[in-house]
Amino acid sequence: MNQATTPPPITPPGRVYLVGAGPGDPELLTLRALRLLQQCDAVVYDHLVSNAVLEFVASAAKRIYAGKRRNEHTLRQEEINALLVQLAQQGKRVVRLKGGDPFIFGRGGEEMLALAAHGIAFEVVPGVTAASGVAAYAGIPLTSRDAAQTCLFVTGHLKDGTADLDWPALVRPHQTVVIYMGLGALAQICQQMIAHGSAPDAAIAVVQDGTIATQKVVVGTLSDIAARVASAGLKSPCLTIIGDVVHMHATLAWFKQAS
């Protein structure tokens, strides 16, 4: 007589939460993001996620660093995609934690497409993107009835490593241009904007470590900002804001920045 065999335990389906960590200040986390960080089994995070935000991660959760800096990738994007799939298939509640908002220059769409291809359930939790958060802490409104009726977000670090942007679009009047990841190409960006019609004395600000205690703001013009930034020793992560709204920084700056 054959004995009945015990079937192997069924692993409950896992789920991945793509969570925006905001620009740095943990007070800018959404309530949903906070709850998920405190309940997750694993968190896969990038280098733009501040230590103050990571303090909210559940003590029992596995932490996996997957940061990508310029010319320095801990994990390739394909490896990150595979890792998320693997963790979810193990039945884990996974938080994929990204600085700012994951769908604004965060490659969140690529990761969700990989999960969808493997039938993995996911949820997207938006975060305060760097443009709005950093500009607010720098005292620079991104729009103004008098100065800017349009706000344009662009990335200064393209897939092939160049900064070959849509220059005619960037130099249109009455708009604010916010450039993510553009510190390394700052001089080239300014030169190209002047060459395509921007005034050399157009206002520009570069903000390092926006929204946290080490925030620094350097203000200048397209013709001199590269030298000012070099003199100040600014390092990534930085956000660049170009337009007449930058003039408001002198009056509206409220956040105490590092000296």
pLDDT per position as a tens digit, 17-42: 999 999 999 999 999 999 999 999 99
Is the distance from CB of 222 to CB of 199 less than 8 angstroms?
A: yes
- Distances in Å between the alpha carbon of 231 and those of 19, 218, 220, 225, 235? 36, 10, 12, 10, 11
Give per-residue pLDDT as tens, 217-250.
Answer: 999 999 999 999 999 999 999 999 999 999 999 9
At the topology level, CATH places domain 130-252 in 3.30.950
pLDDT score, position 9: 65
Where in the chain are the domains? Answer: 15-125, 130-252
The whole-number pLDDT of residue 164 equals: 80
DSSP 22: B
Q: What's the pLDDT score for residue 1?
A: 52
H helices then E strands: how many in the chain? 9, 12
Residue 91: which residues within 8 A CB-CB, separation 6 or more?
11, 12, 13, 14
Catalytic annotation, residues: 46, 68
Report, at the CATH architecture level, how domain 15-125 is classified. 3-Layer(aba) Sandwich (3.40)
pLDDT of residue 218: 98
pTM: 0.90
